[in-house]
Each structure stands twice: as C-alpha cells, then as structure tokens.
C-alpha cells in the first residue's frame, strides 16, 4: 500500500511540474531561412575580404575549427585569423558553390546547419591550381537576443569520390 501511494504521489508530482509550462513553437521554415542567410554574410565577407561581415553572425565566444585543424575559441581570435587568411591571395582565389543546406532544430533556440561547399579554382601557394575542394561545414546556432548566432563551427574536407 505504501508503494502504491508513493507511486501515485510521484506521478502526480511529475505531472504537476509540467502543468504550467507552455511549449513554445517556432516557425521552422522562417527560422531556417534566417539561419541559412548567415552563409551569405560569410561568403560575401570572403568575396570582399571583409572580416567584419564574414564574422557578423558569430557569437563572442564562438568555437571555430577549420579543415586544417586551426582552432579559434573566440570571435576575436577568428577575426585575427581571417585578417591573415584574407591577405593571402592564393587562398582567396576560387569560387564557392554551396549546396545541401540542412537545418535541424534541437530546441527552439538551438539549431544545427550542415552544408557543403565545392570550391573550384583555388590555388596552392606556388600558384598551381588545386583540385576541387569538397568542404563540409557544421555550424551550431543559438538564438541570442532574438538573433541566430554561431556558437560552434567545424569545417572538414573530403576528397572527391571516384
């Protein structure tokens, strides 16, 4: 009998804890578009060599790692790295072709964006042409002050599959 009373009380307590909580629903279509637009800022920043535009959608404490293993643990560190990268003409050569944008919402204020960029026409430091680069991005977003900010960004590269 004591077990039954305890079970009833635990169930009642569990149900009572959630009774006042309203579930927030977001329009995932609209929010996905807002998130995907951040790639435009990144690309335009690269095209114009505008570091501030490229990092405009990153949180102050972002964690960013590129395909070469360079890890920046703040927006400030990322800013300094991009200043160096944007000064290297051979790195800046090439054309981006983003595809396969895939947004997944973990909660109403946390989302993942997976995307692929096929970069053509980039050169090595000696001026020779690179093969097309298949670059994969995984960005983690958090909605901060009603804006989607990138808190984590991991970049990886795969070789062309034949």
**Helix, strand, coil share of the chain (percent; to 5):** 35, 35, 30
Mean pLDDT of the 138-154 span = 96
Neighbours of 144 (CB within 10 A): 12
Domains and CATH numbers, the chain: 26-158 (3.10.450.50)
Q: In whole angstroms, how far apart are CA 137 and each of 3, 78, 84? A: 52, 16, 21
What is the model's pTM? 0.78
Residue 30, both tokens: 């609209």
The confidence score (pLDDT) of residue 51 equals 97
Report the sign of the C-alpha dihedral through residues 82, 85, 87, 90, in that order.
negative
87-135 per-position pLDDT tens digit: 988 878 888 888 878 899 999 999 999 999 898 888 888 989 988 989 9
53-89 per-position pLDDT tens digit: 999 999 999 999 998 899 999 999 999 999 999 998 8
Name the pLDDT band for 9 (thresholds 50, 70, 90).
very low
């Amino acid at each position: 009998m004591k077990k039954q009373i305890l079970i009833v009380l635990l169930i009642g307590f569990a149900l009572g804890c959630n009774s006042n909580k309203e579930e927030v629903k977001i329009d995932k279509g609209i929010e996905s578009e807002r998130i995907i637009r951040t790639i435009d800022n990144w690309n335009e920043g690269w095209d114009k060599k505008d570091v501030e535009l490229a990092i405009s959608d990153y949180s102050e404490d972002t964690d960013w790692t590129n395909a070469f293993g360079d890890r920046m643990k703040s927006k400030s560190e990322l800013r300094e790295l991009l200043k160096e990268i944007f000064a290297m003409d051979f790195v800046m050569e090439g054309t981006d072709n983003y595809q396969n944008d895939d947004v997944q919402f973990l909660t109403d204020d946390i989302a993942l964006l997976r995307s692929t960029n096929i970069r053509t026409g980039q050169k090595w430091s000696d001026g020779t042409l690179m093969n097309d680069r298949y670059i994969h991005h995984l960005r983690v977003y958090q909605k901060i002050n009603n804006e989607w900010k990138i808190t984590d960004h991991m970049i990886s590269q795969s070789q062309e599959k034949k």
